[in-house]
Structure 1
Amino acid sequence: MRRAPGLLPRLAFAGLAVVALVAGIAGGLVRAGVAVPVASAAVATHAFLMICAFMGTVIGIERAVALKHPAGFAGPLASGAAGLVMLSGAPGLAAWLAAGASLAFVGVNLAVVRRQRAAHTLLLLAGAVAWAAGSLLHALGLMAGAVVPLWFCFLVFTIAAERLEMTRLMRRHAGAGPALLAILAVAACGAVLSGLVADVGGLLYGLSLAALASWLAVFDIARRTVRAAGLSRYMALCLLTGYFWLAVAGLAWAGTALGLPWRDAALHGLALGFVFSMVFGHAPVILPAVARVKLAFGWPFYLPLALLHASLAVRLFGGLFDARMTAAGATGNALAIAAFVLTLAGAAIAWRAQRKPTHDALAENR
C-alpha cells in the first residue's frame, strides 16, 4: 500500500493547491472579460498558477506517494509555495521555486524509472523533463514562446503515460507504441521550436496534439469501458470527451500558428477540455489512494462534467462570434470546477454516512 502524508501535511498541501487553483481561475475569468476582484499577479500569471503551482503540486504529490519516500514531497512543497510567492509579488523568486520543484520532480521520476523501467514510466520522466525545461526557460527569461507549450507537454505526456499504463494489457497493433512515441517526439520538437520559429513550431505542436487525440481514441481502453456501468463508464466518458477537445485544441493550435484567431480554443480546449476532463475522470480513483479519502460514486459526478463541456462549447464556439459568449462560457467553466470540488466533498461525506450504520452494527454485536 502507498503511504500518504499525515493529516496536517495533507491539509497544508491541499491549502497550497487550492490557493493556486482559486487564484488561477480568478485570473482566467478576468482575462475572459469577467469582472472579478483579483490581484493583477493572478491575471498576469494565470498559466503559471494553473500549471506549475496547481497541477505541479497535485501531480507531484501523487508521484511522491508512489515513491514512498519523504524526500519526494519537497517538489510539490516548492511548487505550492511558488504560487503563494507569485501572488505576493515576487515573480522572479516564484519562477525559480517552480524550476526547483520541476527538477525535484525529475529526480522523483528517475527513481521511479529505476524501480520499474517501462514505457509509461519513461513517458512520465519525459513529461517531468518538459516541465523542467519550460520552467528553467521561464526563470531565465529565454525562448518565451516555448515555455507554455513545454508546460503543456508536462501535462500531456503525463496523461499519455497514465493511459498507456492502463492499456498495457490490451492487444494492440504492433505499430501503436512506436506511433505514440513518434507523436510525442513531434510535440516536444514543436514546443521547443515555438520559442525559435513560432509559426513552424506551433504548426507541428498543434498537428501532434490532433494526432495524439486520434491515437487515444483508437487505442485507449475507454472505448470498451464506456459500455460498462458505474465509475468505469463515467471515467470512459471523461476520457472520450477529453480526446474530442484535444483534437479541437490541436487543430486550433495549428490554425493559430497560421494566423487564425483561435488562440483561446487552442489553450483552453487543451487545458479545460482535455486536462480537466482527465482530472474529473481520474480524481475518484487517485484521491482515495493519495489522500486517504473514500468516495461514494454516484450520478452527481455527471453534473459538473456536463457543465464543463457545455460551457466550454459556449466559450470556444460561441466566443468566435460574440465576446460575451466567451465570458459566459468562462464563468461556466469556473462553476464546473467548483461543482466538481463540491461533488468530491459530498461523495466523501456520503461514503462516511453509508459506512456509519455498518460500523455501528458491528459495534453492537461485539
Structure 2
Amino acid sequence: MKNIGTASPLFRGVFLLPAGLAMLAGANAALVLVGVWAPAPTARAGDLHGMLMVGGFLATLIALERAVALRRVSAFAVPLLLGAGGLALLTPLPLVVGQALLVGGGIALVTVYAALFQRNHDDVVLVELLAALHLTIGAGLWLRLDVPWLMPWLVGFVVLTICAERVELARLHMPPTGGRTLVLHAGLLTVTLVATLLWPAAGARLSGLVIASLVLWLVRNDVARRTIRSTGLPRFSAAALLGGYVWLLLAAVVWLVGGAQTSGVHYDLVVHAVMLGFAISMVMAHAPVILPAVLRRPLPYRPVMWAPFVLLHIGLAIRLVPGDLAGLHTVWQTGAVLNVVALLAFVVIAAGSAIAGPTAGRAP
C-alpha cells in the first residue's frame, strides 16, 4: 500500500467535513428532541440524534486518527464510509443506506485496528479493536432494533476507545500490568454487553459494574490527579479528564442499581452522562494533543477553552439533576441548550486557536 505519512493537512482535513456536518445535525436533532427552537426542525432528526453523534461524528474522528496512524491509503476508506453514513442519514435516501454505510465503516475500522495490532501486538490496540467491534454490532443491530436497545454497544465503543486512548497517552504513568488490566475489563464488558441482549436487566447491571471498576482503576492511576495542580494546558486537560470520569462513574452506577434503561429520565441520564459528560470532556482534554497529529497544525491552549468546558458541565448538571431527577422540564431544556452551546463554542474556539497559531513567545 502507498505510504501517505506525508499527506497534506488539506487531504486529511477533508475527512473532518462529514464529521462536522454530522455533529451540527446531531446538535440540531438534540434541540428538536428537547422541544426548543431548532434551525432545521425535521421530524426525522430526533430519531437519528444518537447515531449522528456516535457514528457520524465521534467514530469518524476516531477513524481518521487511526487512518493517519496506519499510514495507508486504504485506511482512509474508514472515515469515508462512516462520514458518508452520517451524511446519508441526512438525505431523503432510505434509512438503510446510511445504516449499511455505518456497518461497513465499523467493519473497516476493525480491519484497521487488526493491521495496527499486527505491528506490535499492543494491548491498547486490542482493546480499541474490541471497541470497533462494539460499534459494528451496534450499527448492525440498528437494522432491526431502535437505538435505545443498541445503546449499550455504542456506550461500549465510546468507553473502550477513549479509555484505551487514555492508557496509550499516559502509558509512562500506568503500572506495568496496565495493558492486561485494560484488556481484562474490555473482555468482561464485551461479555456483559452480549448478556444485555439476552437478559437486559442483569446484563446492564454487570456492564455497570465493569465500567465502574474500569473508571476507578483509571482514576487511581491517571496522572491527571497530579497535573490538576499544575497550570495551563496540563491543568485544563486534567480537569476535563477527571470531570469525564465522574460522569462515566455516575452512568455506571445508574446501570448497576437500575439495570437496563431504554426510556425515561434514567435513560437520558446514562446516555448523556456518557456521551456528553465523558466523551466530549475527553475530546476537549485530548484535542490539543491529537488534532495536531492528524492535521499537522498546532492547536495551542488558550484560557478561553475553559468557558465551553465549564458551560458543558454546568449544563449537564442542570439537565440531569433538577431536570431529569426532579422533573423540572424547563430546567431540563435549559441544560440541554447549554450543552449544545458548549459543544459548538469549543469547536469555534479550537478552530480559531488553530488558525491563529501559537501565542507570542510560545512554541507550538
TM-score (norm 1): 0.90
Choose from 154, 159, 168 the match for 2:157.
154
Q: RMSD of the alignment, in Å?
A: 2.5
Shift of 1:70: 0.9
Mapped partners of 1:122, 1:146: distance in 2:
26
Cross-structure match for 1:331: 337
What is the deviation of 1:55?
A: 1.0
C-alpha displacement at 1:241, in angstroms?
A: 0.7
**Rounded Cα–Cα distance in structure 1 between residues aligned with 2:6 and 2:341:** 29
Over the matched positions of the two proteins, sequence identity in percent amounts to: 36
Bigger radius of gyration among the two: 1
Instruction: Provide, for residues 142-168 of structure 1, a one-character-per-residue CA deviation record: whole Å limited to 9, x for no partner.
Output: 697652211221111111111222333
Partner SS for 1:45: helix
Q: Determine if the alignment matches structure 1 residue 245 to structure 2 residue 251.
A: no
Contact 2:124/2:183 (CA < 8 Å) preserved in 1? Answer: no
The answer (yes or no) to whether the contact 1:315–1:325 under 8 Å persists in 2 is: yes
Deviations 1:249-303 (A, max 9, x none): 1112334427784111111001100000000001111111111222221211111
**What is the aligned counterpart of 1:82 among 82, 85, 94?**
85
Q: 1:122-159 CA deviation, whole Å, 9 max, x = no partner?
A: 111111111122222223x1697652211221111111
What does residue 229 of structure 2 align with? 227
* Consecutive unaligned residues in structure 1, runs of 5 or more: 359-366
**Structure 1 CA distance for aligned equivalents of residues 222 and 159 of structure 2:** 15
Contact preservation (8 Å) 2:203, 2:260: no
Alpha-carbon distance, 1:71 to partner: 0.6
Alpha carbons 1:21, 1:50 under 8 Å: kept = yes
Give yes or no for contact 2:123–2:183 (8 Å, CA) kept in 1: no
The CA deviation at 1:210 is 2.0
1:194 match: secondary structure: helix
TM-score w.r.t. length of structure 2 = 0.90
Residue 187 of structure 2 corresponds to 185
Confirm or deny: 8 A CA contact 1:155 1:275 kept in the other structure: yes
- Counterpart residue identity of residue 29, structure 1: L
Number of matched residues?
355
Matched, 1:170 2:173: yes
Flag structure 2 segments of 5+ consecutive residues without an equivalent: none
Task: Give the equivalent residue in structure 1 for 2:106.
Answer: 102
Q: Which residue of 2 aligns with 1:131?
A: 135
**Structure 2 partner of 1:32:** 34
Partner SS, residue 36 of structure 2: coil
Answer yes or no: is 1:111 the counterpart of 2:115: yes
Whether contact under 8 Å (2:4, 2:73) holds in the other structure is: no
Paired amino acid for 1:298: R
Q: For residue 52 of structure 1, what is the aligned residue in structure 2?
A: 55
2:219 to 217, 220, 242: 217
Pairwise CA distance, 1:14: 2.2
Letter in 1 for 2:202: V
